[in-house]
Amino acid sequence: MTRQAVRGTGSPLGLHRVIEPAGALPQAAWRLDPSPELWPDETRVRVDRLNLDAASFRQLTDAAGGEPAKLRAAVLGIVAERGKMQNPVTGSGGMLTGVVAEAGPQAPLGLAPGDQVATLVSLSLTPLVITDGLARWDGRSEQVPCDGHAILFGRTIATVLPADLARPLALAVLDVCGAPALTSRVVSQAGRGGEPPVVAILGAAGKSGSLSAAAARRAGAGLVIGVVPHRAEAETLAEAGLVDQVVIADARDPAALAESVRAAGGPAQVTVVCVDVPGCEGGAVLATAQGGTVIFFSMATSFSAAALGAEGMAADVTMLIGNGYVPGHAQLALDLVRREPGVRGLFEAGVSEETRDNRPGMEEK
Residues that bind a second copy (CB under 8 A): 1-3, 11, 13, 15, 23-28, 90-93, 120-122, 124-125, 155-157, 178, 252-256, 258-259, 279, 281-282, 286, 296, 299, 301-327
Q: Tell me whether residue 154 or residue 222 sits nearer to a second copy (CB atom).
A: 154
Q: Tell me whether residue 137 or residue 153 sits nearer to a second copy (CB atom).
A: 153
Spatial distance between the Cα atoms of 94 and 126, rounded to a whole number of angstroms = 10
Yes or no: say if 305 and 281 are a contact pair by the CB < 8 Å rule: yes
Spatial distance between the Cα atoms of 50 and 92, rounded to a whole number of angstroms = 13
Burial 15-50 (b: 16+ CB within 10 A, else e): bbbbeeeeebebbebebbebeeebbebbbbbebbbb
Q: How far is the CB of 42 from a second copy (least distance, A)?
A: 15
Q: How far is the CB of 325 from a second copy (least distance, A)?
A: 4
Yes or no: say if 229 and 355 are a contact pair by the CB < 8 Å rule: yes
Q: How far is the CB of 307 from a second copy (least distance, A)?
A: 5
Spatial distance between the Cα atoms of 332 and 178, rounded to a whole number of angstroms = 9
Cβ-based burial of 101 (10 A; exposed 0-12, middle 13-18, buried ≥19): middle
Spatial distance between the Cα atoms of 45 and 149, rounded to a whole number of angstroms = 6
Q: How far is the CB of 158 from a second copy (least distance, A)?
A: 11
Q: Which amino acid is at 173?
A: V
Spatial distance between the Cα atoms of 10 and 293, rounded to a whole number of angstroms = 39
Q: Tell me whether residue 243 or residue 249 sits nearer to a second copy (CB atom).
A: 249
* 3-class DSSP assignment, residue 149: strand
Q: How far is the CB of 28 from a second copy (least distance, A)?
A: 6
Q: Tell me whether residue 124 or residue 236 sits nearer to a second copy (CB atom).
A: 124
Q: Tell me whether residue 18 or residue 214 sits nearer to a second copy (CB atom).
A: 18
Yes or no: say if 191 and 220 are a contact pair by the CB < 8 Å rule: yes
Q: Tell me whether residue 105 or residue 304 sits nearer to a second copy (CB atom).
A: 304
Q: Tell me whether residue 197 or residue 222 sits nearer to a second copy (CB atom).
A: 197
Identify the CA nearest to 92 among candidates 62, 130, 125: 125
Q: How far is the CB of 93 from a second copy (least distance, A)?
A: 7
Q: How far is the CB of 310 from a second copy (least distance, A)?
A: 5
Element of type H or E holding 116: strand 116-119
